[in-house]
Amino acid sequence: MKTYRRKKQQYAFASVLAVIAVINLLFFFIMYQPARSEYIGLKDSIQKTRADIASRKQKIARLEKLSAQLETSAQDRQRLITMHFIPKNTGWSEILPQLEGMVQRTSVKNLRKDYTISPTPQYGLYSVKIRFPVSGQYPNVVNLIREIESSKTFFIIDSVDVRGGNAPGGQDVAMNLNLETFFYQ
């Protein structure tokens, strides 16, 4: 009887262990599916985050490159302005000798120059309109236009009004040049 009782206790103990094992197994399956789906979700999220990081690194590299280009663009703009335009405070005293030198080198006649400066700057530059009447031999007038075009100071020839001159032989040409240049401040 003792053995029978002992076997009965062992069976009871084994049944309790089997029930606990089944409960643990069920608990494992109940918890496994949400944990697995969360794991897969986290894995996908990590992959997306890595892709976003790579994309952002590329975007940052592109923006840094653009920033460097913008910095050099500002420097290039400033260099262009200072190289080809004249400061506003010394503008008239620099343009007059330049134009007068061109007139003398090309042997044309010029009696006056009319100037108008715009009161408000546009893109940091003041527009200066110059009316520049000249007369002389046709080749000399052409040379004057070439000098204006190749001048270090940036001049735009807005219009040219050409008339035949009054000199005998008809070689003289009278011309009104309408120029535009810019002053910076």
CATH number at residue 104: 3.30.70.60
Instruction: Please state the separation of Cα 162 from the chain's center in Å.
Output: 42
SS3 of 74-120: the string is HHHHHHHHHHHCEEHHHHHHHHHHHHHHHHHHHCCECCCCEEEECCC
| Token couple for 30 | 């109940």
Residues 95 and 167 in one domain: yes
- The type of residue at 172 is D
Tell me what pLDDT residue 15 has.
92
Can you list the residues of the chain whose pLDDT is less than 50?
A: none
In angstroms, the CA 130 to CA 114 distance is 6
In angstroms, the CA 69 to CA 63 distance is 10
Residues 90 and 179 in one domain: yes
Residues 96 and 13 in one domain: no
Around 139, how many Cα atoms within 13 Å sit in the side-chain half-sphere? 0
Domain of 15 in residue numbering reads as: 1-84
In angstroms, the CA 169 to CA 166 distance is 9
Which of residues 84, 118, 151 is at a domain's end?
84
Which of residues 65, 84, 103 is at a domain's end?
84
Tell me what pLDDT residue 183 has.
85
Number of domains in the chain: 2
Residues 47 and 102 in one domain: no
Residues 78 and 94 in one domain: no
Residues 62 and 94 in one domain: no
- Cα dihedral 40, 41, 45, 51, rounded to 10, equals 50
Tell me what pLDDT residue 52 has.
94
